[in-house]
Amino acid sequence: MQERLKELQAEALEKVAQAADLKELNDIRVSYLGKKGPITEVLKGMGKLSPEERPKMGALANEVRDMISGAIEEKQITLEKAAVEKKLAAEKIDVTLPGRPVSEGNHHPLTRIIEEIEDLFIGMGYTVAEGPEVEKDYYNFEALNLPKGHPARDMQDSFYITEEILLRTHTSPVQARTMEARNGKGPVKIICPGKVYRRDNDDATHSHQFTQIEGLVIDENIRLSDLKGTLDVFAKKMFGADREIRLRPSFFPFTEPSVEMDISCKMCGGKGCGTCKGTGWIEILGAGMVHPNVLEMAGYDSKKYTGFAFGMGPERIAMLKYGVDDIRHFYTNDIRFLKQFSVTE
Amino acid sequence: MLVSYKWLQEYVDLSGVSAEELGEKITKSGIEVEGVETLNEGLRGVVVGHVLECEKHPNAEKLNKTLVDIGAEEPVQIICGAPNVAKGQKVAVATVGAVLPGNFKIKKAKLRGEVSNGMICSLQELGIEAKLVAKEYSEGIFVFPEDTEVGQDALALLGRDDQILELGLTPNRADCLSMLGVGYEVGAILGKDVKLPEPAPTTASEKAADYIKVNVEAKEDNPLYVAKVIKNVKIGPSPLWMQSRLMAAGIRPHNNVVDITNYILLEYGQPLHAFDYDLLGSKEILVRRAKQGEEITTLDDAKRTLSEDHLVITNGTDPVALAGVMGGANSEVNADTTTVLLESAYFTGPVIRKSSKDHGLRSEASARYEKGVDPERVHPAAERAAELMAKYAGGEVLEGSVVADTLSVEPAVVSVTLEKINRVIGAEVSMQQVEDIFAKLKFESTVDNDTITVTVPTRRGDITIEEDLIEEVARLYGYDNVPKTLPIGASTPGKLSEYQQKRRLVRRFLEGAGLYQAVTYSLTSKDKATQYALEKRDPVELAMPMSEDRSLLRLSIVPQLLEVLKYNLARQTDSMAVYETGAVFLKQDGEDLPLEEEHLAAAVTGLWENHQWQGEKKPVDFYVVKGILEGMFAKLGLEDKIAFAAAEKDGMHPGRTAEVSLNGEVIGFVGQVHPTVQKDLDLKETYVFELNLKAVLEAGTEPLQYQAIPRYPSITRDIALVVDKNKTAAELQNIIVEVGGKLLKDVYVFDLYEGERMEEGKKSIAFSLKYFDPEKTLTDEDIAKTHEKVLKAVEEQAGATLRG
């Protein structure tokens, strides 16, 4: 009996060692250690043994059983590891293949510029005011010190619907409306973005529809120096901290004094080049101190209140900032154009 | 205004200030100098030559062989193709080694076998615009006066050794439409005196008043008219220096008399007109409004029909000039003119603007009258012109002027306090500085304590209120010297309105979902204006559109986006998704302004999912676009307030379109574009939506409230219902939700089967129902009753049977 056990042990261990996969191993387990296995079979003959021999033989049988199951366990770990390795090897992929694209859209470059400017001025305590694109002549012109017959408001330059109604030619009427709504009280701190329309033939530098952002601040003691400081903050944020600004006298009917703001040319650093036509400066926007007639018409006491206003074109800013060479791109919506503005700067 | 740097030096001492430096200074303190052009830039080697001999080229019909003395040791042979070259002429010769515009280098050459040592030049070849070259030289070479010295620099003689400052004038600075005005401006900037011409023509004994009478009927339009008579003029070319200055300023030379009027226009900014006195046909000038239908042929040989809106100069009966715009052909100064009637007048802006506009005729004169001329220069300009006509046209100036004067001009007197100046500028300017600035401007001022009172010369009609004075101080004090500050005062919270914030949220959501923002035109064609409109309304129409395509305001955005897709699809883009937010315009009865409604629209075509090498391609379908909307509404907290229902709409696929309602009100639509429309636009399967964004953004939302995280498990029951094909998922779901009551936490469709294994006209639609009780773990018995009710309800109300 003892020999039979030893034999079984040797035989089982041999088979375990030979087992090629987990299934085979499991078969070995079942066939040797199962209830109907040979060891159980051998132990059935225990009854024939003397009482002294029985525990010995029992111990031996357990020993054999443990040996086999130990071997199986060890083999199982080895085989499992091998199986995992095999599986992993089979699962190998080419990590250099392109990933699944996450298709995200993006906002239009003009929105990008407008929101950037909105956020900048919101940070300085401004709110964003909006108004109708179809406007009354009064708000578009008269309230802005452009009385009827003024050369700057020629019928030829605007899209009129009736004699009194037109497509706004600038976003300034929003300023006039806002001032009127405040009943002559300050402070007013707004910026007004929006679409505007002029009778221009569309070409590389003209568009019959374009956008504008205007700003207006009215309070007691608003100074030209405040305008200069505000525009300096704006220019450095939009065009880079190394940019310088300069103000030049200009003329707008609704401001007095009126100025134009230039920024130093990025391309040449102010030395003069083709981009800045040799001047070292690039014209960005028009501004000025709100004309007393405009204040009075909106119900403000021009002795007490002063204010500044500025207006700029997001198209021009985008063209300068991103080097866009044709204003029509903004309205053609060529996907190859739109997609270029997905990147963060 | 084109300003000659050399000419300007007659009025202001510019020593030590280059043209470029001057340009920079002018720009910084008032007027934008758009460019400084050096006239002889890159040009050299052009001298005055004397044509000693001129004969036909032996081998070429159109060429001449000339021998030209160029002041060198020996005369040189030059082949010249100009038709007007002739023996004895003094001409401009580009010698061998010379460089002409366009970096054209003159070399010794052989033309048809004959040597040519240079080139005899036309003015065009020297870089002068063709339209500025006097008519007699426009087709050939330029000829200098006979007494011109040979060998000298021809470019200098033509005034090309000069620089031209191009002034971009704003409408308020019409004072700088004259050399004197620019002189005052530059004098103020540099702190220099201004030297004015002091015309003092010697006069003949005859009196102008014996030759002409002046009556002005239209006194409002013409409050001042000055006439002078110059006899015995000899018409000929004006002096070369004058021609050069005119050309440099952009005016073509004609003859001495006309050139002098133009020269004075440039110098004084005062338009003048010279009539041939003998052609007037009377001894009278009558200024009046034209009669309706009256006609005049102007100097440009155009016949113009006039109306009462236009002002004319007449000889008492017939018009001889369209006042302030252009003279009449009938009284034009010509080669035979001997007596000149010189007009110097003050016409008011509006009537001249009207004439100029109605006749599409803008002249140097009308441009100045429109903006306003200086009334105080009307007399001096006439005197100065008369003086020059005596000097350069050999004329005799008759004594006195004939004047009709009803003009009352008072210089503006404006006061401002130093405190106000500094309060507006934000700088600390002293009263002494302010006084100095006005002294430099040659404005008289007096100071009384804190107040300065300024008498503004009539040449600066733009200055009328204290802010105008402040501007003068600010610009001459220098904007560079103004400090940079930020407004001080009550702080104002800067923020977007709730509406604006939500609009940004919508944009970001759509972009995150894969849509690109487009911006299209509001103006569109009659056809497109009302297509896909949410509401039937008349479109708003422009009074004077520039084109049919842009004649009305849009009522919807979808047609514009379809155009965008069409454009891109024609350019190798197959798949595209765009959206736009923007106003549409609805005409309102009884209201002046249309209703502007902000809309949101999108258009999607092609593949929605496309993973190339994995071969996964999924074209866009209705549910893709609907899913985007559902996601957006969920983001806005409106998912429970939104409903989709099958709808039909012009231009949309009848079976694949839904209207979208918010709280029961239809606010838009979503669906597939009708295949015929797709075909018309060369589009493939395209899905669109358009919503009244204003309604969406203004819809009230519930305040955000935390919901407890479930502590007990839920039970899920899946049911597959067989229903008639036309039963909608929404109908079934509504029944389930209603009957499911509180216990039913969630329900969704997880399968749809319409295949051949179904009975004709039936479909199977499967819902997953999730039951949940926040207070306890549900058992099957807990939900059995409710679930039974649900099954019964769908059977009774929708004829649904459980699929076996």
Residues 420-439 of B with CB under 8 A from A: 423-427
Q: Can you tell me whether residue B388 is helix, strand or coil?
A: helix
Average pLDDT for chain A: 90
Average pLDDT for chain B: 93
Q: What is the DSSP letter of B592?
A: S
Tokens of residue A248, six digits: 């030049």
Question: For position A267, what pLDDT does the model report?
Answer: 80
* B512 in contact with chain A, both atoms CB, cutoff 8 A: yes
Tokens of residue B216, six digits: 């002005």
**Cβ contacts of A111 on chain B, cutoff 8 Å:** 507, 517, 519
Residue B684: pLDDT band by 50, 70, 90 thresholds?
very high
Q: Can you tell me whether residue B378 is helix, strand or coil?
A: helix
The C-alpha atoms of residue B607 and residue B627 are separated, in whole angstroms, by 16
CB pair distance less than 8 Å for A133 and B522: yes
The C-alpha atoms of residue B658 and residue B643 are separated, in whole angstroms, by 9
Tokens of residue B617, six digits: 């391609």
Q: Which amino acid is residue A345, in one-letter code?
A: E
Give B775 to chain A, closest Cα distance, Å.
41
**Cβ contacts of B545 on chain A, cutoff 8 Å:** 159
CB pair distance less than 8 Å for B520 and A333: yes
CB pair distance less than 8 Å for B593 and A223: no
Residue A63: pLDDT band by 50, 70, 90 thresholds?
confident
Return the axis-axis angle of helices B179-190 and B19-29, rounded to nearest 10°: 80
The C-alpha atoms of residue B357 and residue B324 are separated, in whole angstroms, by 12
CB pair distance less than 8 Å for A208 and B614: no
> What mean pLDDT comes out for the span A11-34?
86
Q: How distant is the alpha carbon of residue B244 from its chain centre?
A: 32
DSSP states of B398-454: EES-EEEE------EEEEEEHHHHHHHH-S---HHHHHHHHHHTT-EEEEETTEEEE
Q: Which amino acid is residue A239, in one-letter code?
A: F
Q: Which residue of B has its CA nearest to A115?
A: B504
**What separation in angstroms does the CA of A273 have from each of A137, A269, A315, B32?**
42, 9, 22, 18
Among the listed residues B563, B567, B521, the one whose alpha carbon sits nearest the alpha carbon of residue B545: B521
* B135 in contact with chain A, both atoms CB, cutoff 8 A: no
pLDDT in tens, B121-150: 999 999 999 999 999 898 899 999 999 999
Helix (H) / strand (E) containing B6: helix B5-8
**Cβ contacts of A152 on chain B, cutoff 8 Å:** 171
Question: Looking at the predicted structure, is the pLDDT value of residue B422 above 70?
Answer: yes
CB pair distance less than 8 Å for A246 and B479: yes
Cβ contact B512:A102 at 8 Å: no
Region of B583 (left: φ > 0; alpha: ψ -120 to 50; beta: rest) is beta
CB pair distance less than 8 Å for A208 and B546: yes
What b-and-e string marks burial along B224-246, b requiring 16 or more CB atoms within 10 Å of the CB? bbbbbbbbebebebbbbebbbbb
Cβ contact B199:B386 at 8 Å: yes
Q: Which residue of A has its CA nearest to B583?
A: A133
Classify burial at B614, counting beta carbons within 10 Å of its beta carbon; exposed 0-12, middle 13-18, buried 19 or more. exposed
Pick from B170, B485, B512: which is nearest to A250 by CB? B170
**Cβ contacts of B467 on chain A, cutoff 8 Å:** 256-257, 289, 291-292
DSSP states of A117-130: HHHHHHTTT-EE--
> What mean pLDDT comes out for the span B672-686?
94
Pick from A209, A221, A334: which is nearest to B568 by CB? A334
- Cα dihedral B787, B788, B791, B796, rounded to 10, equals -140
Pick from A126, A209, A251: which is nearest to B171 by CB? A251
**Cβ contacts of A223 on chain B, cutoff 8 Å:** 423-426, 485
Helix (H) / strand (E) containing B529: helix B526-530
Helix (H) / strand (E) containing A69: helix A53-90
**Cβ contacts of A110 on chain B, cutoff 8 Å:** 519
Helix (H) / strand (E) containing B530: helix B526-530
> What mean pLDDT comes out for the span B35-62?
91
Pick from A126, A225, A331: which is nearest to B426 by CB? A225
Phi, psi of A341, deg, nearest 5: -105, 25
Question: Using H for helix, E for strand and C for coil, what is the string for B313-358?
Answer: EECCCCEEEECCCEEEHHHCCCCCCCCEEEEEEECCHHHHHHHHHH
Pick from A103, A187, A222: which is nearest to B514 by CB? A103
CB pair distance less than 8 Å for B514 and A104: yes
* B28 in contact with chain A, both atoms CB, cutoff 8 A: yes
Question: Looking at the predicted structure, is the pLDDT value of residue A107 above 90?
Answer: yes
> What mean pLDDT comes out for the span B573-578?
94
**Cβ contacts of A98 on chain B, cutoff 8 Å:** 612-613
Q: What is the DSSP letter of B548?
A: G
Pick from B27, B467, B614: which is nearest to A248 by CB? B27
CB pair distance less than 8 Å for B482 and A225: yes
CB pair distance less than 8 Å for A134 and B585: yes
- Residue A133 has a CB neighbour count (10 Å cut-off) of 22
> What mean pLDDT comes out for the span B191-196?
94
* B171 in contact with chain A, both atoms CB, cutoff 8 A: yes
* B465 in contact with chain A, both atoms CB, cutoff 8 A: yes
pLDDT in tens, B607-662: 988 887 888 889 999 999 999 999 999 999 999 899 999 999 999 999 999 999 99
Pick from B350, B468, B487: which is nearest to A256 by CB? B468
Question: Looking at the predicted structure, is the pLDDT value of residue B600 above 70?
Answer: yes
pLDDT in tens, A284-341: 999 999 999 999 999 999 999 999 999 999 999 999 889 899 999 999 999 999 999 9
**Cβ contacts of A246 on chain B, cutoff 8 Å:** 28, 479-480
pLDDT in tens, A247-257: 999 999 999 99
**What separation in angstroms does the CA of B36 have from each of B27, B39, B250, B555, B770?**
11, 9, 15, 50, 81
Tokens of residue B589, six digits: 């009865």
Q: Does B600 or B492 have the greater pLDDT score? A: B600
Cβ contact A101:B575 at 8 Å: no
Question: For position A62, what pLDDT does the model report?
Answer: 84
Cβ contact B581:B600 at 8 Å: yes
Question: For position A154, what pLDDT does the model report?
Answer: 66
Q: What is the DSSP letter of A199?
A: -
Give B8 to chain A, closest Cα distance, Å.
22
Residue B177: pLDDT band by 50, 70, 90 thresholds?
very high
Q: Residues near A132 by Cβ (< 8 Å), separated by ≥ 6? A: A168, A173, B593, B596
Q: Percentage of residues in chain A with pLDDT exceeding 90?
A: 59
Among the listed residues B380, B408, B394, the one whose alpha carbon sits nearest the alpha carbon of residue B228: B380
Question: Looking at the predicted structure, is the pLDDT value of residue B695 above 90?
Answer: yes
CB pair distance less than 8 Å for A106 and B517: yes
CB pair distance less than 8 Å for B426 and A224: yes
Residue A156: pLDDT band by 50, 70, 90 thresholds?
low
Query: Domains in chain B, please, with CATH?
Result: 2-39+163-190 (3.30.56.10), 44-157 (2.40.50.140), 203-405 (3.50.40.10), 412-476 (3.30.56.10), 498-698 (3.30.930.10), 715-802 (3.30.70.380)
Q: Which amino acid is residue B793, in one-letter code?
A: A
* B326 in contact with chain A, both atoms CB, cutoff 8 A: no
CB pair distance less than 8 Å for A132 and B614: no
Q: Which residue of A has its CA nearest to B476?
A: A249
* B29 in contact with chain A, both atoms CB, cutoff 8 A: yes
Give A236 to chain B, closest Cα distance, Å.
13
Among the listed residues B74, B90, B80, the one whose alpha carbon sits nearest the alpha carbon of residue B114: B80
Cβ contact B36:B19 at 8 Å: yes
- Cα dihedral A30, A34, A38, A41, rounded to 10, equals -160
The C-alpha atoms of residue B585 and residue B587 are separated, in whole angstroms, by 7
CB pair distance less than 8 Å for A223 and B485: yes
> What mean pLDDT comes out for the span B710-739?
92
Q: What is the CA radius of gyration of chain A?
A: 43
Q: Which residue of A has its CA nearest to B370?
A: A151
pLDDT in tens, B340-394: 999 999 999 999 999 999 999 999 999 999 989 999 999 999 999 999 999 999 9
Question: For position B700, what pLDDT does the model report?
Answer: 83
Residue A53: pLDDT band by 50, 70, 90 thresholds?
confident
pLDDT in tens, A164-221: 999 999 999 999 999 999 988 889 999 999 999 999 999 999 999 999 999 999 999 9
Question: For position B216, what pLDDT does the model report?
Answer: 96
Q: Can you tell me whether residue A205 is helix, strand or coil?
A: coil
CB pair distance less than 8 Å for A251 and B470: no
Question: Looking at the predicted structure, is the pLDDT value of residue B715 above 90?
Answer: yes
Give A269 to chain B, closest Cα distance, Å.
17
Name the pairing type of β-strands B607-611 and B616-619: antiparallel
pLDDT in tens, B456-502: 999 999 999 999 999 999 999 999 999 999 998 878 889 999 999 99
Residues 561-580 of B with CB under 8 A from A: 564, 567-568, 571, 573, 576-579
Q: Can you tell me whether residue A53 is helix, strand or coil?
A: helix
Question: Looking at the predicted structure, is the pLDDT value of residue A261 above 90?
Answer: yes
**Cβ contacts of A162 on chain B, cutoff 8 Å:** 543
Of A53-67, A76-90, B94-108, B713-727, where does mean pLDDT reach its minimum? Answer: A53-67
**Cβ contacts of A122 on chain B, cutoff 8 Å:** 494-496
The C-alpha atoms of residue B280 and residue B277 are separated, in whole angstroms, by 5
pLDDT in tens, B764-783: 999 999 999 988 898 988 88
Give B596 to chain A, closest Cα distance, Å.
7
Q: Which residue of A has its CA nearest to B616?
A: A100
